[in-house]
Amino acid sequence: MMSKYESAVRPGCGDDIRPKDLDAASHTARACGIARNGSTSRGRIRLGAMCAALAFAAAPVLSFEGDTPKPARTADVVYVATPHDVVDRMLSLAKVNSNDLVYDLGCGDGRVVATAARAHGCRGVGFDINPERVTESRQTVQKYNVADRVAIQQQDIFELDLSPASVITLYLLPRLNVRLIPQLEQLKPGSRIVSHDFDMKGVEPDRVVEMVSKEDGVEHTIYLWTTPLKQQ
């Protein structure tokens, strides 16, 4: 229970691979189905899909609900899907309920907000800068029959007002999480932030959970923070 932002690997968008973080290398390995111990995971992501993501170039932005199309900036990260059982654990850890409004920053294929709405009855909005991911996410929303509770928007997450949300879900790189801190500090007290695999330097998490996904056989780490954020 996905933002994208500086050429590196994570779910949401993609451009040429010019990793600016050492973290990007491990993220790329996961995208190719390589576990942290160097072994090939059982849930290998198809190379063809990955190559397509890496080849993504800026394209005209698709309009949403009548929005005026605008040029898309270069995407920051390559899409890597969060396994479904990890999504479930993220939403459970954040204690998502029917009163929540979930924002997924870098929504990828839309599985996080769609799952949140279907399993927990909440409302959700997924944001992605990649028009292909936006189209795919809207298809997922229709597939999950949650179009009455979930919207997908093509936007740059670093330009968003996050204050309406009560839950934020992330699968970004650490430096991108850090870049979001000023926006996350605008969340209402008691809001929850949950991140797949990557922490937020300088901010103490409330919980850190490790799990091995049955979907890909790889160990995943989930971080939870609640607002107000606790500086380390």
Judge whether 107 and 137 are in contact, CB under 8 Å. yes
Report the C-alpha gap between 138 and 126 in whole angstroms. Answer: 9
Would you say residue 153 has pLDDT above 80? yes
Query: What residue ranges define each of the domains in the chain, with the CATH number in brackets?
Result: 8-226 (3.40.50.150)
Mean of per-residue pLDDT scores for the chain = 79
Report the C-alpha gap between 63 and 68 in whole angstroms. Answer: 6
- Torsion sign across C-alpha atoms 177, 178, 180, 186: positive
User: Quick one: how far is CA 135 from the chain centroid?
Assistant: 16
Judge whether 167 and 142 are in contact, CB under 8 Å. no
For residue range 47-94, list pLDDT tens digits in order: 343 333 433 333 333 334 444 345 456 667 788 999 999 999 999 999
Report the C-alpha gap between 172 and 192 in whole angstroms. Answer: 16
Pick from 217, 219, 166: nearest CA to 189: 166
What is the pTM for the complete model shown?
0.73
Question: What token pair was written down for 169?
Answer: 């879900």
- Torsion sign across C-alpha atoms 38, 44, 46, 51: negative
